[in-house]
Amino acid sequence: MISLRYIIELALPIYKKLASIESMMYRFFLENLDTTKENVVITGDEFYHLKKVLRLNAGDEIIIFDGKGNDFIARIETLGAKEAVASLKEKLEISGESKIKIVLAQGLAKGSKMDMIIQKATELGVSEIIAFITSRTVPKLKENTNKKIERWKSITIESSKQCGRSIIPKIEEIKSFNEILKHEWKRHLKIILWENAEDMRFRDKLSMLDNPDTKGIIVIVGPEGGFSIDEVNDATNSGFLPVRLFSDIILRTETAAIAALSIINYEISSSRNL
């Protein structure tokens, strides 16, 4: 009788040859990565994860990235009690980035919904995430939002590590709805999702991304309470196009964001001109 362990032992060398080297390496984030130096030092949470969780050893190869487009294959040279030293071996090409800048303006959602939206938006290639408040926003903001912002930034880092992105999305300070509208979105396709919009041609609107003068897209997704008619009118007057994703289905805010971003990514990846 052939054991499962025997099958795994036979299949593992074949799998290693078929799988790319990069995809098998663990990724570590160093915000202040000095690419001019041969060796870098890994400390803090990244070191704990490297040594205590993954139990890597000297000689193991990893990927180190700074979230700004610098990805390197590195080799662990020494492993101490509080830090590891790794040597940079090879710079990698930027990966996991959309051909078009995607900005998600997300109405502040309650509880863990916002965390999940930020996680999935990062995986779906968003360049920038802006949380905003409206007249119908459910969560009540406290004076100090720094902890919330820092948690969201941590989520983008972990998500970027997991999905292989080279550039970590930018997390903006929480803004008002009017601040989003008044911002000068030069050469951006401007979309606002509204469940009562008559226009359901979301994919048709995305064909405007083929225009070489268009460098990005901003999608506004409302909070749990949705938008008021006055807010939608203000957005329309600011050049935003109200659309809905489906004819007779009202989506939760977190579902709407993920669905819209997925459709955008599909259209960008399938376009011959992008």
Letter for the amino acid at 250? I
Q: Would you state the pLDDT for residue 135?
A: 83
- How large a percentage of the chain has pLDDT more than 90? 63
How many other CB atoms are there within 10 angstroms of residue 255's CB atom?
A: 15
Q: For residue 242, is pLDDT > 80?
A: yes
What does the H/E/C string look like for the chain? CCCHHHHHHHHHHHHHHHCCCHHHCCEEECCCCCCCCCEEEECHHHHHHHHHHCCCCCCCEEEEECCECCEEEEEEEEECCCCEEEEEEEEECCCCCCCCEEEEEEECCCCCHHHHHHHHHHHCCCCEEEEEECCCCCCCCCCCCHHHHHHHHHHHHHHHHHHCCCECCEECCCEEHHHHHHCCCCCEEEEEECCCCCCCCHHHHHHHHHCCCCCEEEEEECCCCCCCHHHHHHHHHCCCEEECCCCCCCCCHHHHHHHHHHHHHHHHHHCCCC
Query: Which of 4-13, 211-220, 230-239 is predicted with the least confidence, judged by mean pLDDT?
Result: 4-13
- Residue 58: the pLDDT is 95
pLDDT higher for 59 or 99?
Answer: 59
Provide mean pLDDT across the span 68-89: 95
Per-residue pLDDT reduced to its tens digit, 2-58: 454 544 454 445 444 434 445 578 999 999 999 889 999 999 999 999 999 999 999
What pLDDT, in 10s, does the model give residues 139-180?
Answer: 766 656 888 899 999 999 999 999 999 999 999 999 999 999
Those residues whose C-beta lies under 8 Å from the C-beta of residue 124, and which sit 6 or more positions away, are 102, 258, 261, 262, 265
pTM, rounded to two decimals: 0.84
For residue 201, name the pLDDT band (cuts at 50, 70, 90).
Answer: confident
Q: Show the domains of the chain with their CATH numbers.
A: 7-92 (2.40.240.20), 101-270 (3.40.1280.10)
From the list 77, 95, 71, the residue with the least C-alpha distance to 40 is 77
pLDDT score, position 142: 66
| pLDDT for 15 | 41
pLDDT band at 85 (very low <50, low <70, confident <90, very high): very high
